[in-house]
A = this chain, B = another copy of it.
Amino acid sequence: MDQVDQVQDDDTLDEEVVLDQPRLKLVRGALEDRDAMALDDLLEPLHGADIADLLEQITEFERQTLIELWSGHIDGEILSELDEGLREEILSSLPAEDVAEAVRELDTDDVVDLIENLDDQSQAGAILGALDDADRVAVERALTFPEYSAGRLMQREVVIAPSFWTVGQAIDYLRSAEELPEQFYHVILTDPRMRPVGHVTLGKILSTAREVPLSDIEEDSFRTFYATDPESEVAYAFNQYHLISAVVVDEDDRLLGVITIDDAMSVLDEEAEEDILRLAGVDSEGSLSDRVLGTVRRRFPWLGVNLITSILASLVIAQFDAVIAEIVALAVLMPIVASMGGNAGTQSLTVAVRALATRDLTGANVWRVIRREVAAGLINGVAFAIVMGIVGVVWFGNPMLGVVIGVAMVINLGVAGLAGVGIPVALEKVGIDPALASGAFVTTVTDVVGFFAFLGLAALWLL
């Protein structure tokens, strides 16, 4: 490799420093030695998102040292990228003037994102106070829109042009504009009443002759959202229609702002994350940097629900205590039936919850999907009934016990398919997030049905 190559490679690498374990170790070493210069050399080339990750991964003591040595460099981007819990900790330990300087450089949508979830209202007030008047008004305006709405997501900074302008006029205007958004992908065409009527990609403007009217090169497809539309609608549309940016209007169809794909991407990301955690009964507000007591509090409610449902299942078992006293093998085998039903039910409900979230499961195909899940449950039920029937016979030398466990298995896996789709669909209909509540209902059903079918059949056929 010759000299030129070498220099260029260095240059490229310089831009691409990432947070890896060796660098993290060096940072922790510099913090231990309280070596401000080494710390700055290590942190300075990192992207704000990586510095936020670093802050999340070190201990609280290390964080305090880092803030002491490096607080002047903690900018708005780093604050935006932090976990919500940690953000409050860091905001409260940063000097007020550093916070003010950090937030002033942010776009209004990022400021909104920064303060909308602060528990500490005095922190929010301090941040608002640090903004200049126009930005503060914009942020306060955005905060009047409902949480999780398009109005909270949009940035006020837009690039517009009258729809009768030519390409040349647009370029001249852009060259003379005092301030343009950090990132923009379209010029929005408006009518005289400031209502958006279409948009033109920057690529089209750049590749078209100056005299062509903008209206000749506008995109075929142009989707707008009302400021009050839920952000999940917006994220769905970005994903479904491959949008890059979309316009937000007020109730009179007047332009308010623009939402860009990176905002939509983080909404999608958060929603998938929320679904994953809720399906497992974990509060989606939690984060890895929570402390023990926070974690205890966040896990407790779901475990409480599970305790109640498993006591329900125990009540079913208690009805059959005389049978169990006579045939102890039933106590040995009964968890198998319940557990298989619980697993099959979880499979069906997860598929259903995701299909509801992605709008693949609708009124048009819900009966077909239910039929399919029940049929699949029954067929798998028969397969495992044969296996377990044989296990029952071999283990306990009792053919009828094999039949009982087999039949109970078929019943429970069929019910699991039915409940696994039916319960999330019903919850969605009545306006409850199916990701949040389906699990408890479905496993209650499969536990109760599993124990009841197995012990009930045993009482009928084995005594």
Interface residues, chain A, with chain B CB atoms under 8 Å away: 8-9, 11-12, 15-16, 21, 24-25, 28, 47, 49-50, 53, 56-59, 170-171, 174-175, 177, 180-181, 183-185, 191, 195, 197, 201-203, 205-209, 220-224, 238-242, 244, 253, 261-262, 265-266, 268-269, 272-273, 275-277, 279-282, 286, 288, 290-293, 295-296, 299-300, 302-304, 306-307, 310-311, 313-314, 317-318, 321, 324-325, 328-336, 338-340, 343-344, 346-347, 349-351, 354-355, 359-365, 368-369, 372-373, 375-376, 379-380, 383-384, 387-388, 391, 447, 451
Contact = CB atoms under 8 A, between A and B. Distances in A.
A391 B261 contact: no
Residue of A8, A56, A208, A311 contacting most chain B CB atoms (<10 Å): A311
A286 B351 contact: yes
B354 A276 contact: yes
Q: Top 7 A-B pairs ranked by shortest CB distance? A: A280-B350, A272-B272, A202-B202, A331-B331, A295-B376, A310-B339, A174-B207
B335 A303 contact: no
Contact of A350 (B277, B296, B335): B277
Nearest to A325: B328
Contacts of A50: 240
A347 B49 contact: no
B333 A314 contact: yes
B15 A288 contact: no
A98 to B, nearest CB: 22
Contacts of A286: 351
B335 A313 contact: yes
Residue of A8, A50, A203, A281 contacting most chain B CB atoms (<10 Å): A203
Residue of A288, A325, A362 contacting most chain B CB atoms (<10 Å): A288
A314 B330 CA distance: 10
Main secondary structure on A side of the interface with B = helix
Nearest to A171: B206
A379 to B, nearest CB: 5
B321 A331 contact: yes
A222 B321 contact: no
B47 A344 contact: no
A360 B83 CA distance: 11
Given A268-B265, A347-B280, A369-B288, A447 B335 contact: yes
A346 B281 contact: yes
Contacts of A292: 372, 375-376, 379
Nearest to A344: B303
